[in-house]
Amino acid sequence: MKKIALSLIVLLLIGITLSAQDRTIVGKVTSADDGSSVPGVNVVLKGTTTGSVTDGQGNYLIHVPAKGGTLVFSFIGFTTQEIAIGISNRIDVVMSLDIQQLSEVVVTGYGIQRGLQGKVAGVQIRGNSSLRKKDMAAPSPSKYGLRGYGEYETRPHQNTEEYDGIQENIFHDPLKNPLSTFSIDVDAASYSNIRRFITGGQRPPKDAVRIEEMINYFDYEYVQPKGDDPFSINTEISTAPWNPKHKLVHIGLQGKNIPKENLPPSNLVFLIDVSGSMSDENKLPLLKTSFKMLVEQLREQDRIAIVVYAGAAGLVLPSTSGAHKRTIIDALDKLEAGGSTAGGAGIKLAYAIAKENFQKEGNNRVILATDGDFNVGESSNGGMERLIEAKREEGVFLTALGFGMGNYKDSKMETLADKGNGNYFYIDSILEAQKALVNEFGGTLFTIAKDVKLQIEFNPARVKAYRLIGYENRLLRDEDFNDDKKDAGELGSGHSVTALYEIIPVGVESEFSKVDDLKYQKTNVEKTASASKEIMTVKFRYKKPSGSVSKLIVHPLVDENTSIAETSDNFRWSAAVAGFGMLLRDSEYVTDFKYEDVLQLAQGARGKDENGYRVEFLNMVKSLNMLAARK
């Protein structure tokens, strides 16, 4: 009896102890439509501020009281679900598409309209007076790391976002224009920015859509380089999915992946905008959390300084070893927003600190984090260009991280990164910070080849016309290809770059704007061109990170008449993303191509998708497809 009584007491004590502890609930969220994972779903313990968000594979983890409660699962385009917590510590959820919700959203360019009187963060609302403004408030993004969480801010806001105009590349006759020359672009800001619009129920502005950045947001399974060159070259050609008469050429570069322990030491300067415009939760708070993630990647030999700017610029933390992570994080925690924006002064001070701690054989870089809203000091794009161009010659590169919405200055951020021998990311969530600053740490911060240029010569005996898809802001003059003084794009460790050309083969009837025949000279096609199977020759130039003389690589391409079904996942995925980008831009070249066609092409080319980025893309296409179907 004593043993039984003792056992009961022990069980009772264990029960009391467990009831006082939190439980951890895990699970996976999938779509009822096709069973795919749904990343970015908001998971909240009802009636509390406790929340989580699904990762790229649709998985989530949330800590809840042992007594249980109710979990609320919500995501735009899906029906919100409430599920009571039972005895199981795993709750998997299947979410159904909400057609009615999407049909109520009226796309109006920079904002949406739906039923409530008043304005909400650039979103015009009308109708249902029973819905209170506080009911529209989004959960705190600092707790959940949500995407698109600025959409429901309750104060009136005038949208002043700025994007450079883009004129879509047209078809060219290779007899009149035999060469196409451009700089590579590894930036990915456009993709995460348009994702912010779409997850907020809006169609992005056309000029926010840079197709090359959408394509290059994704990893591709290119082979690693084996020779002395720091990248491998991969080419394919098949039918253009949006026009069966045309061909599509896929060109891919894969940068050499250098293990983190073998990367050179870093001399980094965080240049952080703490002006009043950065006070929103999706700006400075998200910025600080993002930089903390980067700090955790640093080694003892790496060093970081922190410069801030508002009404004036100042040094918050002198250059500090990565071994002192707590010191760096404490400095970040103390930052607060307020004042006007002296961007020019901040950049000058950051470069001065970088030069003071220069690592001759290392990675010297300023990392600018801002919404781009410079309004005091050196504020013009031209002035910023000249400032940063002068500093890059001293060996200090620049990475630009964009935050926020409503007053975001995309055009200025892109200019700064392009001229600073660096890259540009738009950080709309903790997940995007994880991708840019942790998963792709080496590629983001460590350059393995600079001034990388491509020049393609088309064989007029086989190509009637050609056009480059995207890269409108990266076009170079033909003479720039051999000019080593001409700046071009950089390739980071492990990064890939993909470019696509649409081609009209000789003998195909297809309309495009032609140039008149020349009066004073004639162009003859060589007999060797007619005899050759080559459709084009791709030439590459690059320099080593500290070099001043470029190296030339030549790579001819032969059309083997491969069907699109026999192409690689790389080919079909990049084609699907390009097609989606052209639809967003209302391109004249995809008149018979629809969102359903994008989905069909992309669903069979997902590949491994270890981080769930491709599933996320499919969900975005589905959302816009439903919106288009309800118009």
- Fold match flag (18-97 vs 179-258+450-519+533-560+570-629): yes
First CA to last CA across the chain, in angstroms? Answer: 76
**Assigned CATH topology for domain 179-258+450-519+533-560+570-629:** Immunoglobulin-like (2.60.40)
CB 474 within 8 A of CB 182: yes
Class of domain 260-445: alpha beta
Quote the pLDDT of residue 249. 98
Give residue 333's Cα distance to chain centre: 26
Rg (CA), the chain: 26
Quote the pLDDT of residue 156. 39
DSSP 8-state symbol, 626: H
Quote the pLDDT of residue 375. 52
Nearest to 257 by CA among 233, 225, 301, 302: 225
Domain segments of the chain as ranges:
18-97, 179-258+450-519+533-560+570-629, 260-445
Please tell me the chain's helix, strand, coil percentages from 3-state DSSP, rounded to the nearest 5: 30, 30, 40
Q: Which residue has the tokens 């995207």?
A: 470
Quote the pLDDT of residue 153. 34
CA distance 168 to 578: 13
The β-bridge partners of 238 are: 248
3-class SS letters over 156-200: CCCCCCECCCCCCCCCECCCCCCEEEEECCCCCHHHHHHHHHHHC
CA distance 148 to 210: 19
CA distance 356 to 359: 9
DSSP 8-state symbol, 230: S
Which tokens belong to 136?
């529209």
pLDDT tens, position by position, 101-120:
443 333 323 232 333 222 22
Quote the pLDDT of residue 133. 30
**Assigned CATH topology for domain 18-97:** Immunoglobulin-like (2.60.40)
Between strands 303-309 and 266-273, the pairing is parallel
The β-bridge partners of 239 are: 247
Stretches in the chain below the pLDDT threshold 50 = 2, 4, 6, 8-20, 101-157, 376-377, 379
Phi, psi of 69 (to 5 degrees): 145, -155
Quote the pLDDT of residue 352. 92
Quote the pLDDT of residue 348. 85
CA distance 340 to 408: 15
* Those residues with Cβ within 8 angstroms of residue 201's Cβ, 6 or more apart along the chain or in another chain: 76, 102, 105, 107, 112, 151
Quote the pLDDT of residue 21. 58
